[in-house]
């Protein structure tokens, strides 16, 4: 009897669950009209590039893998036969997608699709193939504008990425692996996503199936409007793994308008290196919660330095927009017109300040911090040793002024846990400048036990704050 009752309850519970399921087949979107109307605006792009045969050969001593005939032919096409002639030129080919933005032949695609191409061929939906010329491209945003000699072409309708919501349906059309006009659908996974190598694009993340050949193709919303350009995937295999990234169409059109107007793209620039505020750093700066962009370095001759922004300031607002994480700031600044006025709110010493400045132009040789190597031993309670810098070291490290000490060795302890590396240069400790090794040891003695303090370092030309936990 107990078993029957249990079975009956389970059946009723399952029925209730099934009855309350919100999704039915009829509730799913129908993309047929969207694909029918939008497909003529999408093109296949193929490029050719002349390269030396020796650049395409396998490394010495390496044999081609055993592959099926079709894949083997493709492998040999790109790498050549081991016993073949290694001299002369060969053609390397690539495939991508694009879409028509004006009836007189302007098209959008990715910069990486046409990069270094000797010939760009556009295949339209009516099977016509036309040579395209490169009007201009922008590697930082991965946008390229090309043009074909044609008239009365079908044109995409532009959408507004600002109206997108996470969970909304979107659809991509492109040429994955050369299969023209393939349509794949999914949802918006996240908005304003920043990628490590792309600081000036707030990407739209989706789970739409994007594969090689989709690059440069359009991302549509349910209204059939283009909201983005499919640009990158995150993959460990080279194929789709559920993480795709699209450039918002308003960012792309800003690039297009600048290329048409002046032939190149300029971006706003503050002249600072920034980093995220972690929970530990927030504690060390007396903040209630981590937010904003922490200024790790103020570059010389930049707008920020001239306006009075200092190392250790936390930028919390830019022109009325709150900065929750450091990745939100570069796209906002980058889209500002050079020379325009901006108002910045910073947190300094626990107090809010408002600073006004004129936005500069992002230089081509923007400094980027990089990593260094690790050490092994310690001789103080922080677990690392320091030494005064020689004149040659100071010159090689491009250090100005007399301050700073070199980290000689890093062993187990607070320094290693904070992320300190051998070869780092310590510029300040607990917001106080470090003048010498003796001065550093004096500052260490006065550190508050059990508290987290900010440690400012220079690493390979870049500045970085670390959160150092002082031992009890």
Cα distance between residue 46 and residue 216, in whole Å:
12
Q: Is 258 helix (H, G, I), strand (E, B) or coil?
A: helix
Cα distance between residue 365 and residue 140, in whole Å:
12
Buried b (16+ CB within 10 A) or exposed e, 183-204: bbbbebbebbbbeeebbbbbbb
User: Cβ(268)–Cβ(337) under 8 Å?
Assistant: yes
Q: Which of 175, 215, 284, 326 is catalytic?
A: 215
Cα distance between residue 426 and residue 420, in whole Å:
9
Q: Which of 46, 94, 142, 221 is catalytic?
A: 142
DSSP 50: E
Beta strands in 101-236 (DSSP E): 106-109, 119-123, 129-138, 143-148, 157-158, 169-174, 182-195, 198-206, 218-221, 225-233
Rounded to the nearest 10°, the torsion over CA 419, 421, 426, 431 is: 0
Cα distance between residue 353 and residue 350, in whole Å:
10
Cα distance between residue 230 and residue 227, in whole Å:
10
Q: Is 143 helix (H, G, I), strand (E, B) or coil?
A: strand
Closest CA to 350 of 398, 303, 313: 313
User: Cβ(415)–Cβ(384) under 8 Å?
Assistant: yes
Q: Which of 112, 181, 367, 372 is catalytic?
A: 112
The neighbouring-strand residues paired with 138 are 143
Q: Is 469 helix (H, G, I), strand (E, B) or coil?
A: strand
H or E stretch covering 440: helix 437-445
Measured in residues, the chain has a length of 472
Rounded to the nearest 5°, which phi and psi values hold at 252? -65, -40
The neighbouring-strand residues paired with 144 are 109, 137
Residue 215: active-site member: yes
Write out the catalytic residue numbers: 112, 142, 215
């Amino acid at each position: 009897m107990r078993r029957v009752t249990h079975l009956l309850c389970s059946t009723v519970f399952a029925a209730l669950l099934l009855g309350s399921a919100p999704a039915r087949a009829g509730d799913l979107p129908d993309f047929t009209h969207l694909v029918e109307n939008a497909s003529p605006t999408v093109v296949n792009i193929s490029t050719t590039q002349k390269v030396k045969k020796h650049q395409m050969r396998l490394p010495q001593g390496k044999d081609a893998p055993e592959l099926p005939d079709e894949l083997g032919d493709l492998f040999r096409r790109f790498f050549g036969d081991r016993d073949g002639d290694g001299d002369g030129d060969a053609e390397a080919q690539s495939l991508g997608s694009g879409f028509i933005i004006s009836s007189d032949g302007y098209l959008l695609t990715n910069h990486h699709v046409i990069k270094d191409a000797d010939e760009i061929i556009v295949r339209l939906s009516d099977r016509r193939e036309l040579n395209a010329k490169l009007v201009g491209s922008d590697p930082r945003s991965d946008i390229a504008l090309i043009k074909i000699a044609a008239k009365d072409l079908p044109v995409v309708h532009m959408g507004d990425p600002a109206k997108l919501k996470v969970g909304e349906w979107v659809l991509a059309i492109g040429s994955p692996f050369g299969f023209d006009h393939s349509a794949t659908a999914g949802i918006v996974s996240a908005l304003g996503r920043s990628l490590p190598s792309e600081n000036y694009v707030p990407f739209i993340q989706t789970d739409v199936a994007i594969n090689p050949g989709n690059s440069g193709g359009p991302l549509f919303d349910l209204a059939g409007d283009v909201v983005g350009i499919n640009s990158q995937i995150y993959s460990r295999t080279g194929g789709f793994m559920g993480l795709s990234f699209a450039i918002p169409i308003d960012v792309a059109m800003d690039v297009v308008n600048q290329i048409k107007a002046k032939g190149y793209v300029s971006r706003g620039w503050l002249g600072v290196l920034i980093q995220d505020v972690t929970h530990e750093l927030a504690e060390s700066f007396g903040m209630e919660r981590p937010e904003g962009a922490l200024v790790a370095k103020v570059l010389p001759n930049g707008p920020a330095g001239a306006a009075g922004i200092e190392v250790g300031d936390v930028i919390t607002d830019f022109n009325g927009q709150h900065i929750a994480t450091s990745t939100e700031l570069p796209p906002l600044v980058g889209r500002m017109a050079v020379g325009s006025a901006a108002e910045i709110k910073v947190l300094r010493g626990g107090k809010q300040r408002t600073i006004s400045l004129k936005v500069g132009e992002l230089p081509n040789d923007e400094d980027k911090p990089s990593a260094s190597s690790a050490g092994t031993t310690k001789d103080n309670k922080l677990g690392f040793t320091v030494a005064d810098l020689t004149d040659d070291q100071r010159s090689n490290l491009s250090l100005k002024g007399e301050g700073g000490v070199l980290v000689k060795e890093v062993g187990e302890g607070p320094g290693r846990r904070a992320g300190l590396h051998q070869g780092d240069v310590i510029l300040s400790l607990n917001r106080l400048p470090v003048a010498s090794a003796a001065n550093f040891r004096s500052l260490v003695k006065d550190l508050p036990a059990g508290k987290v303090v900010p440690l400012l370092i220079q690493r390979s030309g870049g500045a970085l704050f670390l959160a150092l936990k002082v031992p009890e």
